[in-house]
């Protein structure tokens, strides 16, 4: 559950009628309890891609300001700019975190693509709150090429603080810029009376590419305008709202010590009851209810509040909203835990090894670590974990580089102006006060869930016991017994597996023939189609001309792809060699365990059925399987039995090193065989014979099969589809001789590990190797402290 943000009762309600609870309070209590809000942050292994590359991502799913325990599955989809789905994934969420990858098709056209991430629970609410990230994908063979859109016009809107503009009350305004492309970084403005446009009543300069601010004391009957211009001479004129003769203006100031606010009024009837409600993360944290609320100053101490957006709403005695405002709590005291990093001297030499460590934090279960060439940008430079957690996870409008509001040198005044221009959209007061709440159509299921139905001769089988035998790699066969309900249905909940899971089934009642039994499995989850229109991009696609030269950045992207491909290929070869060696070692151990010295030979071939099923499950007689796999082995039949011959000579058969008649082999189930050894020529156990032997060894206690599906062939089988498997990201190890013959290394991502789990009571050591030309490194480390509910965050260039 989300951490509850609680004020002392004496601070929570200041009222002449403490027991009074209006519609607003009741509504927010229901909404907070029954409709928690999840939000998702995505970090990518790099900023831009080339067709044919792998795109890796890590997700953090929050319930408010804490890692979410609501959802255990994450849906991630990849779209092109026409909203055509390219790929989709379902991933497990462990402690609110998950990771995966998309393999971008090699023929993908150059353009902007969109990654959508959501949970089933989030689909009950507005799609605007789902994660939707844009990425650029380059392809030099594509007919179109991406260029930054620097020609689109920009527009602006003005927003009075609290939403009101009243005669004689000095009012703060936020000016917000919008554009399909890039908004100007250098812009300014001034305010005029339309009747006297040559006199500037107020002047200001934009804080950034999003917002600026000014203050003005208006007069009734005067029409005001703000005139804006950028460094390129572009100009916009925006009307201010009409000046009201009466009303209430909410004025707020933030600081490290408190949030201070007051209500200024004009021509308001005395004795009217007003109340102010403060909410954070849809939870009531502050309330004042009094007839003497106007013209007073109030202070909200923030000691017991977390960083985040506070919504202040002023209601009249009929619970109409008369003013409202968003404020960020303690913008200059961001509660961030930096990981304790021990950096030794980093070596920027080509392909040099570098090692650093992260101190133990018992309240963080895993770190995400990304290291890139320090001269390049990361996905965190525009949309950071902090900006998602505290801003864009709740604010859905387009914000240029929201990460800037939470860096070490951020401008709190700019963030405050940005929030003046925004409204809280997680809920609408009037809607929930009328008793209208979201319709819950999608409930979160525990991990992978399947629904099943059992029928016998086409009719439902109520209250029937069903045996399910799961084939689990490395663990063998596991039996589970379930019982159907009164309509023949059952559920398989909480399955955590990747790719596919094979199972077989049969009724517990052996009297019912299996041919009469049918079991239907259906996944109890689904990808939910995207309804909204994709947002516009800062890039535009133009026709590629013959002879067009690639930009230096695109050349680097292509070189990066080639470098990573070479490293991946080398790593695959190394892994194959290791697997073969590992398999060989295990087979050697099995041979040592089962064979006596008398049955050892320099001319033997060993078939291992413990560590490799060798595709023998479909055979009734192991001798049939051997034919064609052993050079020179032929089978003759004699009275229904197979007689093995090598080079024309009959071969003796030994079962656990005891000579047996060939007829006995028919009674040995393949599933019970651990190893078969074919020995050619002389061996000691033949006691003088030189024709060789086929030695069959059966399983002993504790041996499990690599794939025991032979035992299940008599049962009906089914394949369940689970979570999508993540492709491994290869971090090259230049200490390994096999990597040293790679000709060029121009990787931009030097290290990527989305889920690095520390060992107990040990610092976490990380080794990475430089590429051929990086002069410094950008180090990004993320996590979450589950005790203090603080993000763990580090994003700096280290030299």
Question: Residue 695 is part of a domain; what is its CATH number?
Answer: 2.170.130.10
Average pLDDT for residues 731-751, to the nearest whole number? 88
Give yes or no: residues 519 and 592 share one domain.
Answer: no
Give how far the C-alpha of residue 780 lies from the chain's centroid of Cα atoms, to the nearest Å.
17
The pLDDT, as a whole number, for residue 582 is 62
Cβ-based neighbour number of residue 321 at 10 Å: 16
Give yes or no: residues 591 and 510 share one domain.
Answer: no
Give yes or no: residues 616 and 701 share one domain.
Answer: yes
Average pLDDT for residues 745-770, to the nearest whole number? 90
Backbone φ and ψ of 564, nearest 5°: -65, -35
Backbone φ and ψ of 164, nearest 5°: -125, 150
The structure's pTM equals: 0.81
The residue among 649, 673, 707 that closes a domain is 707
The pLDDT, as a whole number, for residue 9 is 33
Give yes or no: residues 601 and 673 share one domain.
Answer: yes
Q: Is residue 465 assigned to a domain?
A: yes
498 CB-contact burial (10 Å; exposed 0-12 / middle 13-18 / buried 19+): middle
The pLDDT, as a whole number, for residue 715 is 65
Q: Is residue 294 assigned to a domain?
A: no
Q: Is residue 82 predicted with pLDDT exceeding 80?
A: yes
Integer CA distances (angstroms), 606 to 383, 589, 696, in order = 57, 12, 10
Please name the residues in contact with 645: beta carbons below 8 A apart, sequence gap of 6 or more: 633, 634, 635, 636, 651
Give yes or no: residues 601 and 680 share one domain.
Answer: yes
The pLDDT, as a whole number, for residue 704 is 56
Domain that holds residue 519: 448-524
Q: What is the mean pLDDT of the chain?
A: 87
pLDDT in tens, 254-264: 877 888 999 99
The pLDDT, as a whole number, for residue 577 is 62
Q: Is residue 699 assigned to a domain?
A: yes
The pLDDT, as a whole number, for residue 708 is 45
The pLDDT, as a whole number, for residue 436 is 95
Q: Is residue 748 predicted with pLDDT exceeding 60?
A: yes
For 735, the token pair is 């200490």
Name the pLDDT band for 175 (thresholds 50, 70, 90).
Answer: very high
Q: Is residue 388 predicted with pLDDT exceeding 60?
A: yes
Q: Is residue 466 predicted with pLDDT exceeding 80?
A: yes
Higher pLDDT, 628 or 455: 455
Q: Is residue 571 predicted with pLDDT exceeding 60?
A: yes
The residue among 707, 740, 771 that closes a domain is 707
Give yes or no: residues 605 and 493 share one domain.
Answer: no
Give yes or no: residues 587 and 692 share one domain.
Answer: yes
Q: Is residue 742 assigned to a domain?
A: no
The residue among 649, 677, 707 that closes a domain is 707
Q: Is residue 377 predicted with pLDDT exceeding 50?
A: yes
Q: Is residue 146 predicted with pLDDT exceeding 80?
A: yes
For 302, the token pair is 């923030």
Q: What is the rounded CA–CA span in Å between residue 379 and residue 55?
A: 12
| Partners of 780 in the β-ladder | 370, 795
Give yes or no: residues 590 and 517 share one domain.
Answer: no
Question: Among 313-322, 516-525, 635-644, 763-772, which stretch is predicted with the lowest mean pLDDT?
Answer: 635-644
Give yes or no: residues 497 and 586 share one domain.
Answer: no
Give yes or no: residues 503 and 593 share one domain.
Answer: no
CA angle 665/671/676 to nearest 5° reads 55
Cross-sheet strand order for the sheet of 48-50: 48-50, 131-138, 111-118, 73-79, 85-92
Backbone φ and ψ of 358, nearest 5°: -115, 130
Average pLDDT for residues 526-535, to the nearest whole number? 94
Among 563, 450, 455, 567, residue whose Cα is nearest residue 516:
455
Q: Is residue 665 assigned to a domain?
A: yes
Give how far the C-alpha of residue 539 lies from the chain's centroid of Cα atoms, to the nearest Å.
25
Backbone φ and ψ of 229, nearest 5°: -150, 150
Please name the residues in contact with 799: beta carbons below 8 A apart, sequence gap of 6 or more: 346, 348, 374, 775, 776, 777
Q: Is residue 414 assigned to a domain?
A: no
Q: Is residue 30 predicted with pLDDT exceeding 90?
A: yes
Number of domains in the chain: 2
Among 693, 672, 669, residue whose Cα is nearest residue 681:
693
**Residues in the chain, how many?**
799
For 590, the 3-state DSSP assignment is helix
Q: Are 674 and 703 in contact (CB under 8 A)?
A: yes
Q: Is residue 16 assigned to a domain?
A: no
Higher pLDDT, 269 or 774: 774
Average pLDDT for residues 607-616, to the nearest whole number? 78
The pLDDT, as a whole number, for residue 98 is 96
Q: Is residue 108 predicted with pLDDT exceeding 90?
A: yes
Q: Is residue 217 predicted with pLDDT exceeding 60?
A: yes
Give yes or no: residues 626 and 519 share one domain.
Answer: no
Please report which helix (H) or strand (E) contains residue 25, including its range: helix 23-34
For 137, the token pair is 């994908």
Q: Are 283 and 33 in contact (CB under 8 A)?
A: no
Higher pLDDT, 759 or 120: 120
Q: Is residue 203 assigned to a domain?
A: no
Give yes or no: residues 588 and 702 share one domain.
Answer: yes
């Amino acid at each position: 559950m989300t951490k509850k943000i609680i004020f002392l009762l004496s601070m929570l309600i200041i009222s002449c009628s403490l027991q009074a609870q209006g519609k607003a309070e009741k509504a927010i209590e229901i909404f907070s309890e029954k409709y928690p809000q999840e939000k998702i942050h995505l970090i990518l292994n790099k900023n831009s891609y080339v067709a044919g590359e792998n795109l890796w991502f890590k997700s953090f799913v929050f319930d408010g300001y804490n890692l979410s325990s609501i959802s255990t599955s994450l849906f991630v989809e990849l779209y092109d700019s026409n909203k055509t789905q390219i790929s989709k994934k379902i991933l497990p969420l462990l402690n609110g975190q998950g990771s995966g990858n998309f393999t971008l098709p090699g023929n993908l056209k150059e353009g902007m693509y969109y990654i959508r991430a959501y949970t089933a629970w989030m689909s009950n609410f507005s799609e605007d709150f789902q994660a939707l990230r844009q990425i650029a994908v380059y392809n030099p063979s594509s007919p179109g090429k991406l260029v930054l859109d620097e020609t689109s016009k920009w527009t602006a809107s003005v927003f009075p603080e609290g939403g009101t503009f009243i005669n004689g009350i000095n009012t703060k305004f936020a000016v917000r810029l919008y554009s399909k492309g890039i908004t100007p970084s250098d812009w300014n403005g001034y305010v005029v009376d339309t009747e006297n446009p040559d006199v500037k009543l107020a002047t200001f300069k934009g804080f950034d590419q999003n917002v600026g601010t000014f203050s003005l004391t208006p007069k009734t009957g005067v029409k005001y305008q703000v005139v804006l211009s950028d460094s390129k001479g572009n100009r916009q004129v925006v009307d201010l709202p009409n000046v009201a003769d009466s009303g209430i203006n909410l004025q707020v100031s933030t600081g490290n010590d408190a949030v201070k606010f007051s209500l200024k009024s004009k021509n308001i009837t005395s004795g009217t009851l007003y109340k102010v409600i403060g909410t954070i993360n849809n939870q009531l944290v502050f309330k004042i209810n009094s007839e003497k609320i106007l013209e007073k100053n109030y202070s909200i101490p923030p000691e017991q509040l977390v960083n985040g957006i506070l919504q202040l709403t002023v209601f009249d005695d009929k619970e109409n909203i008369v003013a409202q405002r968003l404020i960020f709590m303690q913008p200059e005291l961001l509660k961030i835990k930096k990981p304790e990093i021990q950096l030794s001297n980093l070596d920027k030499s080509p392909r040099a090894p570098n090692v650093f460590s992260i101190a133990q934090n018992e309240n963080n279960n895993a770190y995400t670590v990304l290291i890139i060439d320090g001269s390049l940008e990361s996905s965190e430079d525009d949309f950071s974990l902090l900006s998602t957690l505290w801003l864009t996870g709740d604010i859905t409008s387009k914000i240029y580089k929201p990460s800037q509001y939470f860096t070490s040198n951020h401008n709190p005044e700019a963030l405050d102006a940005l929030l003046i221009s925004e409204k809280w959209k997680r809920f609408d007061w009037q809607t929930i006060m009328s008793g209208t709440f979201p319709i819950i159509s999608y409930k979160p299921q525990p991990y992978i869930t399947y629904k099943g139905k059992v029928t016998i001769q086409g009719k439902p089988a109520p209250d029937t016991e069903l045996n399910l035998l799961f084939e689990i790699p490395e663990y063998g066969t596991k039996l589970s017994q379930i019982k159907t309900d009164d309509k023949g249905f059952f559920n398989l909940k909480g399955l955590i597996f990747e790719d596919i899971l094979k199972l077989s089934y049969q009724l517990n009642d052996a009297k019912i023939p299996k041919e009469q039994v049918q079991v239907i499995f259906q996944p109890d989850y689904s990808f939910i189609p995207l309804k909204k229109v994709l947002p516009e991009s800062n890039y535009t696609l133009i026709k590629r001309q013959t002879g067009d030269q690639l930009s230096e950045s695109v050349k680097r992207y292509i070189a990066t792809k080639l470098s990573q491909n070479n490293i991946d290929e080398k790593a695959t070869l190394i892994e194959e060699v290791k697997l073969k060696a590992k398999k060989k070692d295990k087979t050697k151990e099995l041979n040592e365990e089962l064979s006596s010295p008398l049955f050892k030979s320099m001319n033997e071939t060993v078939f291992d059925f413990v560590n490799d099923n060798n595709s023998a499950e479909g055979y009734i007689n192991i001798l049939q399987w051997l034919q064609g796999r052993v050079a020179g082995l032929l089978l003759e039949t004699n009275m229904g039995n197979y007689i093995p011959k090598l080079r024309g000579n009959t071969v003796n058969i030994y079962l656990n090193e005891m000579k047996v008649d060939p007829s006995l082999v028919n009674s040995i189930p393949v599933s019970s065989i651990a190893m078969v050894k074919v020995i050619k020529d002389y061996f000691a156990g033949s006691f003088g014979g030189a024709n060789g032997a086929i030695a069959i060894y059966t399983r002993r206690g504790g041996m499990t099969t690599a794939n025991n599906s032979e035992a299940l062939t008599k049962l009906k089988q089914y394949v369940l589809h689970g979570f999508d498997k993540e492709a491994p990201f290869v971090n090259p190890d230049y200490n390994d001789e096999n990597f040293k013959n790679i000709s060029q290394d121009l990787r931009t991502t030097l290290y990527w590990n989305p889920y690095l789990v520390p060992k107990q009571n040990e610092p976490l050591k990380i080794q990475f190797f430089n590429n051929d030309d990086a002069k410094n490194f950008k180090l990004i480390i993320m996590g979450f402290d589950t005790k203090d509910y603080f993000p763990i965050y580090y994003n700096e260039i280290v030299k």
